[in-house]
């Protein structure tokens, strides 16, 4: 995924995130342009309603062209979550879907080793998806990882990730890129 597209995908929803209501509840207000477009339905006169839709869709399209508003579907959000798996930012919440939904949360990914080297701190794995993972515990793999090996990364508790190469016992790693 293009990094500039990813930055836009993440930055736009941040600018339009709902604020917390006084009682601590999420007010979950949609963007103003969307609300104005939906409000066109309330106009009873057909010609006025059509004029409203034309005006608001043009404004909506212009905002999308200027990237003031980003339109995305759950599949695109899921792809962004997968691409950012391992980073600590709550991507789903930032994009409006929330990782509170356990069914929607990415719990593990599978990839292939593109490069592996052993540093003084432990293993550093570069995966074919472009991510780089670095060991942060003292365990070791039984068999050294090699390019082409399959990798499964599983989310643990408290922000930990376990990386298993060729179905070996997983070791704790953190994503650094």
Q: Domain of residue 155: give its range.
A: 108-175
Q: Is residue 102 part of a domain?
A: no
Q: Is residue 161 part of a domain?
A: yes
Q: What is the pLDDT of residues 60-110, one digit of tens each?
A: 888 888 888 877 777 777 776 666 666 655 554 555 555 445 556 677 888
On whether both 76 and 132 belong to a single domain, the answer is: no
Q: Is residue 58 part of a domain?
A: yes
Nearest to 130 by CA among 172, 169, 176, 165: 176
| Residue 79 phi, psi dihedral angles, 5° rounding | -65, -40
Last residue of a domain, one of 63, 94, 125: 94
Mean pLDDT of the chain: 76
Question: Does residue 29 sit in helix, strand or coil?
Answer: coil
C-beta of residue 141 within 8 angstroms of C-beta of residue 168? yes
Last residue of a domain, one of 59, 94, 129: 94
Q: What is the pLDDT of residues 14-25, one digit of tens each?
A: 444 444 444 444
| Residue 172 phi, psi dihedral angles, 5° rounding | -75, 130
Percent of the chain with pLDDT over 70: 68
Q: Is residue 101 part of a domain?
A: no
For 31, the token pair is 């963007």
pLDDT of 108 reads 82
Q: Is residue 125 part of a domain?
A: yes
Domain count across the chain: 2
On whether both 88 and 120 belong to a single domain, the answer is: no
Last residue of a domain, one of 36, 62, 94: 94
On whether both 20 and 62 belong to a single domain, the answer is: yes
On whether both 40 and 18 belong to a single domain, the answer is: yes
pLDDT of 70 reads 76
Measure the CA–CA gap between 36 and 56, rounded to whole angstroms: 7
On whether both 10 and 90 belong to a single domain, the answer is: yes
On whether both 119 and 170 belong to a single domain, the answer is: yes
Question: Does residue 104 sit in helix, strand or coil?
Answer: coil
Q: Give me the sign of the Cα torsion angle 84, 89, 95, 99.
A: positive
pLDDT of 4 reads 44
Q: What is the pLDDT of residues 142-176, one digit of tens each?
A: 888 999 999 999 888 777 889 999 999 889 888 88
On whether both 81 and 142 belong to a single domain, the answer is: no
pTM of the model as a whole? 0.48
Number of H helices, E strands in the chain: 5, 6
C-beta of residue 1 within 8 angstroms of C-beta of residue 83? yes
On whether both 83 and 120 belong to a single domain, the answer is: no
pLDDT of 102 reads 55
């Amino acid at each position: 995924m293009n990094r500039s597209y990813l930055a836009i995908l993440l930055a736009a929803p941040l600018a339009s995130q709902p604020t917390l209501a006084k009682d601590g509840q999420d007010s979950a207000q949609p963007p103003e342009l969307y609300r104005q477009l939906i409000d066109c339905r309330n106009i009873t006169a057909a010609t006025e309603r059509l004029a409203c839709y034309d005006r608001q869709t043009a404004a909506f399209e212009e905002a999308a062209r200027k990237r003031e508003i980003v339109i995305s579907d759950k599949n695109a959000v899921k792809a962004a979550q997968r691409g950012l798996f391992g980073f600590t930012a709550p991507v789903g919440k930032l994009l409006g879907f929330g990782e509170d939904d356990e069914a929607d949360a990415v719990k593990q990914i599978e990839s292939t080793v593109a490069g592996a080297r052993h540093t003084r701190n432990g293993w550093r794995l570069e995966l074919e998806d472009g991510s780089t993972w670095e060991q942060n515990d003292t365990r070791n793999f039984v068999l050294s990882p090699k390019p082409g090996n399959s990798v499964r990364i599983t989310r643990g508790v408290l922000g930990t990730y376990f990386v298993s190469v060729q179905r070996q016992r997983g070791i704790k790693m953190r994503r650094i890129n």
